[in-house]
Amino acid sequence: MKKTLILLFAISSFILPIYSEENVLQNTEITDTQNSLENEEQNITETVPKIEKQNIIKNEENITQTNSDNAKTETLEDLANFSELSDTENQKTEDPTPIYKNLPYAGMDHPEVERFRKQYLSPKWLGLLYNCLENAMEYRLFVRQAIAEKGMPEILEYLPVVESNYKTTAKSKSGALGMWQFMANSVYPFLTLNDYVDQRLDPWASTEAALKKLADNYNYFNDWLLAIAAYNCGVGAMNRVLKKAEKKDFWYLVDNKMLPKQTAEYVPKLLAIADLAINAEYYEIDLPNHNEEFELLENEKNGHFDYVTVSKAYSLNTLANSLRIEPSTLKKLNPSYHLGFTHPSKKSEIRLPLGMKIAAEEALAKQEPIDFPVKYKVVSGDSLWSISRRYNTTVDAICELNGIRENAILKIGKILYIPSK
């Protein structure tokens, strides 16, 4: 029994250490495995943020790069835009070279045109041209408007410069009268001319008549230079010249001296003046164009008036006084009534400042017409006093009716109109 117990103790002593060692080894392996797993987990835990961080950094770098590229692109675009703006600003600040406007007519470089161009570029003639165009503003604007409405050449605005220097009372040695220089034998059917009315003196009526005549000439010759030349010498005279000419060309007629001197110079002079006026900036000269005035509303009304129609002789002075305007104002608007009163028996239109039609009608309803008159021719020995005594009227009444002064010298043969008292 005792031996058995000793044997069992010995065996257990041998087995227990082995078990213990295996156990320890197993525990060690488990611990090592756990540690390994924990290390791997830690590594994974540490690696993932690193990867994520790296990705984030890369993304941030990409975004930064993109933003940088965009910024560069925007900067380049901004620079380009700024450059364009700068160029535009420079263009605005720099005075561009004036553009020459070519007039659509043959012969603008003809020696005759150049001769008149040089003449009007001289200080003396340039000053005269400036004054003419400046003083003519009121009528120029009306002419310009009428030409534009009719679709006619813009150079026609300068034809009254050649004709009369835009003077409404201009009279030539040959008897041509007014701004457009109509002869007495050339007014029909364009204007009225009789003992009481002479529309050649009316700048508005004569403008319409002149443009109508020029349009007729153009429709006949189908050439503006010939049409303008015919306005000067007459359609009949131009036809006779053209029948002899090999070419129906104005410059051919000039170069071959087939036109009267006045007509041969008439068109070149017009072209030279129009060229200088239209291209004044190009020629570096100061000529008034009145473009700003033309665009203003009040000047667009230039040539727009009120009218009243009468059929008896009414004194313009009396009507002006009733309307409380200067008699000179009403006479300026009605220059064709050169005697100071309307026609005694035919319908006559009295031109009025815009907005005065009703007031004028009321004034005329109260105004007595002139009980018309006797047409009297002055003879030797006559005086205003003797004539007034003969017709039982007054010197003042005769003077008012005839637009003369009391101390006027009466020439033999002069026609006077004598009102009844």
Residues of the chain short of pLDDT 70, as ranges, are: 1-96, 294-303, 372-373, 420-421
The predicted structure's pLDDT at residue 331: 95
CATH of domain 111-299: 1.10.530.10
Using CA atoms, how far apart are residues 188 and 200, in angstroms rounded to an integer?
11
Six-digit token string for 81 = 């835009």
Q: What is the SS3 assignment for 83-144?
A: HHHHHHHHHHHCCCCCCCCCCCCCCCCCHHHHHHHHHHHCHHHHHHHHHHHHHCHHHHHHHH
Residue 8's identity, in one-letter code, is L
The predicted structure's pLDDT at residue 94: 54
Using CA atoms, how far apart are residues 11 and 5, in angstroms rounded to an integer?
10
Using CA atoms, how far apart are residues 97 and 59, in angstroms rounded to an integer?
57
The predicted structure's pLDDT at residue 177: 96
Domain residue spans of the chain: 1-86, 111-299, 307-369, 373-421
Considering just the CA atoms, what is the radius of gyration of the chain in Å? 51
CATH of domain 373-421: 3.10.350.10
Q: Is 395 helix (H, G, I), strand (E, B) or coil?
A: helix
Cα 221 to chain centroid, rounded: 30
Contact between residue 166 and residue 143 where contact means Cβ atoms under 8 Å apart: no
292 to 203, 273, 287: CA distances (angstroms): 22, 21, 14
Using CA atoms, how far apart are residues 268 and 271, in angstroms rounded to an integer?
5
The predicted structure's pLDDT at residue 339: 86
Using CA atoms, how far apart are residues 200 and 193, in angstroms rounded to an integer?
8
CA-angle at 290, arms to 273 and 295, nearest 5°: 135
Contact between residue 274 and residue 103 where contact means Cβ atoms under 8 Å apart: yes
Q: Is 315 helix (H, G, I), strand (E, B) or coil?
A: strand
Counting runs of H as helices and runs of E as strands, what totals does the chain give?
Answer: 18, 4
Six-digit token string for 267 = 């068109």
Six-digit token string for 121 = 């570029």
pLDDT tens digit sequence for 120-139: 999 999 999 999 999 998 89
340 to 197, 343, 415: CA distances (angstroms): 10, 10, 14
